[in-house]
């Protein structure tokens, strides 16, 4: 049984182009209030299947569509075309700190963040101590989050998200945070998830991480899935692509 | 309707947490804190009583109670609308990070204002006690216009929150609409002051029946007619039905416009 199935998925966005060429056009724009729209296909006919317990790495250049694919899996976007099937609960670690409000304390934010990620009040209460401990925030847990450093902020977000204990974990390039000690803790936790047979979808720019952690890798380029296979092969192809430098969106 | 109830119930913990967060953030950093929820209507009432009460003192005894009985539910409506119009747009970043039920935001905005509203009834009670104004048995009727008010406001909240996502002017337009609506509703004055031939216009105001329900029970000690009662609830249900369907229809695309 597959944890994640993508069948011919297309994701389109409306891209607004506001680029007046001349002063006259600026004037005309204000009076007519007309914007030009372009359809941008961020994800183009992508199909793949992820089995339960697999750890899959998604690599590709910036703007290739990796994060969009993750967001589709996480349910943030509903694809314009195609079918997505996800079996099991999901915890997205995409841009940590979903729902955090800067005026609230770390403790209060754990609560809201936990609820948003699908925990019940009781579950959050049970896990609260562990979350605080893992985040290594000490006393600061009772200070408003606006007083946190960005590292503290991220640690808190990561800590809550991993306590959610989902079937599928989705991680988007956020492992570059924290000092080496904390990074190690993050990896240990991810490893623990693997050992428990959880499915992990992992976006990274660090080919080293992908090589050492993942069973499989997907190479995304300009919205298309170019290669799907063992990390070494996929990374090699990725490195080839990196040599050809071109702006995104052409 | 059923979809609305089940989804709301499923998200109840989150909605409650968001509503409380809204209140907590509103009053953080302030010395008086949530006491403002009580003070605000009192101060408004004080100013209005001085300005209008002195003109109308002759025909309307205990003007402050006359005023407050409609002012409190009105303030609930106006503030709820003001908060919920921005509820989706304001939480845009959240929508882009995590999958969350869209309805959570307008509902939470409403609930936080319901709490504010209930708190604001306290000064009204105090005033009644201080002025030795009778607490009529008709207070029992109050749950009905309250429910009608909440339903109607929620419907309006869903509707305007949706439109605001696509046309951001709405939050500004709402301000103007509310101003006009306030003066067009018989809050500071009584409908009796309006000449007969214009009264039918007033009956077009959907909030009239609910607001009247409050004033009749609190100030006059009377029950409204059966038709008024049913309109209070009926309009609320209709508003919610329309508002929520519109919301539902467009909620999937919010994330792309926010």
Task: Give the pLDDT score at A72.
Answer: 92
In angstroms, the CA A79 to CA B85 distance is 27
In angstroms, the CA B83 to CA B74 distance is 14
Cβ A110 vs Cβ A123: under 8 Å: no
Confidence of residue A18 (pLDDT cuts 50, 70, 90): low
CA-based R_g, chain B, Å: 19
Cβ B199 vs Cβ B205: under 8 Å: no
- What residues of chain A, 74 to 93, have a C-beta less than 8 Å from chain B? 74-78, 90, 92
- Does the pLDDT of residue A119 top 60, yes or no? yes
Task: Give the pLDDT score at A232.
Answer: 92
Contacts of B122 (CB under 8 A, 6+ apart): B38
Report CB contact under 8 Å: B98, A14: no
Q: pLDDT by residue (tens digit) across B124-134?
A: 888 888 888 88
Sign of CA dihedral B212, B214, B219, B225: positive
Report CB contact under 8 Å: A78, B98: no
Contacts of A207 (CB under 8 A, 6+ apart): A59, A235, A238, A239
CA-based R_g, chain A, Å: 20
* Cα pseudo-dihedral A109, A113, A119, A124, rounded to 10: -20
Side-chain-side CA neighbours of A186 within 13 Å: the count stands at 25
Report CB contact under 8 Å: A101, B95: no
Q: Give the gap in angstroms from C-alpha A129 to the nearest C-alpha of chain B.
A: 19
- Does the pLDDT of residue A176 top 70, yes or no? no
Task: Give the pLDDT score at A139.
Answer: 87
- Does the pLDDT of residue A169 top 90, yes or no? no
Percent of chain B with pLDDT over 90: 45
Task: Give the pLDDT score at A241.
Answer: 85
Pairing state of beta strands A2-17 and A36-51?
antiparallel
Report CB contact under 8 Å: B25, A104: yes
In angstroms, the CA A177 to CA B120 distance is 46
Task: Give the pLDDT score at A19.
Answer: 62
User: Using the 8-state DSSP alphabet, how is residue A219 labeled?
Assistant: E
Q: pLDDT by residue (tens digit) across A197-243?
A: 889 998 888 888 888 888 999 999 999 999 999 999 999 999 888 88
The predicted model scores a pTM of 0.86
In angstroms, the CA A154 to CA A159 distance is 8
Mean pLDDT to the nearest integer, B241-246: 95
Q: What tokens were used for B27?
A: 């009053």
Rounded mean pLDDT of chain A? 83
Q: Label residues A146-173 b or e (16+ Cβ within 10 Å = b).
A: eebeeebbbbbbbbbbbbbebbbbbbbb
Contacts of B234 (CB under 8 A, 6+ apart): none
Asked: is A1-88+167-250 a CATH 3.40.50.300 domain? The reply is: yes
Task: Give the pLDDT score at A208.
Answer: 85
Report CB contact under 8 Å: A99, B98: yes
- Does the pLDDT of residue A175 top 70, yes or no? no
Task: Give the pLDDT score at A57.
Answer: 92
In angstroms, the CA A126 to CA A163 distance is 10
- For residue B82, CA distances in Å to A146, B76, B85, B127, B174 come to 26, 10, 6, 28, 7
Domain ranges across chain A: 1-88+167-250, 98-165
**Chain B hits for A99, Cβ within 8 Å:** 94, 98
- For residue A33, CA distances in Å to B81, B89, B166 come to 28, 21, 15
Beta-bridge mates of residue A99:
none
Task: Give the pLDDT score at B161.
Answer: 95
**Chain B hits for A98, Cβ within 8 Å:** 94, 97-98
Mean pLDDT to the nearest integer, B49-62: 74
Which is higher by pLDDT, B227 or A102?
B227
Task: Give the pLDDT score at B152.
Answer: 96
Residue B119: Cβ-neighbour burial (10 angstroms; 0-12, 13-18, 19+): middle
- Least-confidence region, from A89-98, A106-115, B28-37: B28-37
Q: Give the gap in angstroms from C-alpha A208 to the nearest C-alpha of chain B.
A: 26
A104 touches B: beta carbon within 8 Å? yes
Mean pLDDT to the nearest integer, A37-41: 83
**Chain A hits for B96, Cβ within 8 Å:** 71, 76, 95
Mean pLDDT to the nearest integer, B9-35: 82
Q: What tokens were used for A98?
A: 């979903």
Number of other CB atoms surrounding residue B143 within 10 Å: 9
Q: pLDDT by residue (tens digit) across B170-223?
A: 989 999 999 999 999 999 888 888 888 888 888 889 999 999 999 999 998 888
Q: What tokens were used for A241?
A: 């692509």
Report CB contact under 8 Å: A117, B21: no
Report ipTM (2 d.p.): 0.80
Contacts of B214 (CB under 8 A, 6+ apart): B69, B70, B72, B73, B142, B145
Question: Averaging pLDDT over each range in A29-33, A75-79, B133-137, which range is the top one?
Answer: A75-79
Longest dimension (CA), chain A: 64
Report CB contact under 8 Å: B97, A76: yes
- Suggest the residue from B29, B90, B94, B97 to mutate for an interface test with chain A (most A CBs closer than 10 A): B97
Report CB contact under 8 Å: A120, B13: yes
- Least-confidence region, from A115-124, A241-250, B82-91, B245-254: A241-250
- Does the pLDDT of residue B45 top 70, yes or no? yes
**What's the CA angle centered on B100, arms B95 and B104, to 5 degrees?**
100
Q: Give the gap in angstroms from C-alpha A243 to the nearest C-alpha of chain B.
A: 32
Q: What is the 3-state secondary structure (H, E, C) of chain B?
A: CHHHHHHHHHCHHHHHHHHHHHHHHHHCCCCCCCHHHHHHHHHHHHHHHHHHHHHHCCCCCCHHHHHHHHHHHHHHHHHHHHHHHCHHHHCHHHHCCCCCCCCHHHHHHHHHHHHHHHHHHHHHHHHHHHCCCCCCHHHHHCHHHHHHHHHHHHHHHHHHHHHHHHCCCHHHHHHHHHHHHHHHCCCCCCHHHCCHHHHHHHCCCCHHHHHHHHHHHHHHCCCCCHHHHHHHHHHHHHHHHHHHHHHHHHHHHHHHHC
Mean pLDDT to the nearest integer, B216-231: 90
- Does the pLDDT of residue B92 top 80, yes or no? yes
* Beta strands per DSSP E along A105-209: 168-172, 199-203
A73 touches B: beta carbon within 8 Å? no
């Amino acid at each position: 049984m597959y944890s994640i199935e993508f069948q011919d998925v297309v994701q389109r966005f409306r891209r607004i182009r506001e680029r007046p060429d001349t002063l006259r056009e600026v004037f005309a724009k204000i009076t007519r209030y007309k914007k030009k729209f372009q359809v941008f296909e961020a994800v183009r006919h992508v199909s793949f299947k992820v089995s339960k317990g697999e750890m899959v790495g998604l690599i590709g250049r910036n703007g290739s569509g990796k994060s969009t694919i993750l967001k589709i899996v996480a349910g943030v976007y509903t694809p314009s075309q195609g079918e997505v099937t996800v079996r099991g609960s999901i915890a997205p670690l995409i841009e940590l700190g979903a729902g955090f409000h800067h005026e609230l304390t770390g403790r209060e934010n754990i609560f809201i963040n936990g609820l948003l990620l699908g925990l019940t009040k009781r579950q959050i209460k049970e896990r609260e101590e562990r979350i605080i401990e893992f985040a290594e925030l000490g006393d600061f847990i009772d200070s408003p989050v606006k007083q946190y450093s960005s590292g503290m902020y991220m640690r808190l977000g990561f800590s809550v998200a991993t306590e959610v204990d989902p079937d599928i974990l989705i991680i988007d390039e956020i492992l570059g945070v924290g000092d080496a000690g904390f990074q190690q803790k993050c990896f240990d936790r991810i490893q623990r998830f693997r050992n428990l047979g959880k499915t992990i979808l992992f976006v990274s720019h660090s080919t080293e991480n992908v090589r050492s952690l993942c069973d499989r890798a997907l190479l995304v380029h300009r919205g298309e899935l170019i290669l799907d296979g063992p990390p070494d092969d996929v990374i090699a192809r990725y490195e080839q692509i990196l040599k050809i430098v071109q702006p995104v969106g052409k | 309707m059923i979809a609305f109830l089940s989804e709301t119930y499923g998200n109840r913990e989150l909605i409650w947490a968001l509503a409380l967060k809204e209140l907590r953030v509103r009053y953080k950093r302030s010395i008086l804190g949530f006491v403002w929820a009580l003070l605000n209507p009192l101060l408004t009432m004080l100013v209005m009583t001085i300005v209008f009460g002195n003109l109308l003192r002759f025909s309307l005894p205990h003007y402050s109670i006359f005023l407050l009985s409609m002012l409190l539910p009105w303030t609930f409506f106006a503030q709820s609308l003001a908060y919920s119009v921005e509820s989706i747009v304001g939480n845009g970043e959240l929508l882009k990070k995590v999958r969350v039920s869209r309805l959570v935001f307008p509902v939470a905005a409403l609930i936080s204002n319901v709490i504010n509203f209930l708190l604001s009834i306290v000064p009204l009670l105090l005033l009644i006690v201080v002025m030795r104004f009778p607490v009529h048995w008709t207070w029992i009727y109050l749950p009905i216009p309250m429910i009608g008010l909440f339903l109607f406001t929620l419907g309006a909240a869903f509707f305007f929150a949706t439109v605001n996502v696509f046309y951001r002017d709405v939050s500004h337009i709402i301000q103007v609409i509310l101003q006009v609506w306030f003066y067009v509703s018989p809050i500071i004055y009584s409908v009796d002051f309006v000449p007969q031939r214009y009264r039918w216009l007033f009956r077009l105001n959907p909030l009239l029946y609910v607001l009247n329900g409050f004033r009749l029970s609190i100030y006059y000690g009377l029950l409204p007619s059966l038709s008024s009662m049913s309109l209070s609830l009926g309009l609320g249900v209709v508003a919610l039905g329309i508002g929520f369907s519109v919301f539902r229809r467009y909620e999937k695309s919010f994330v792309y416009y926010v």
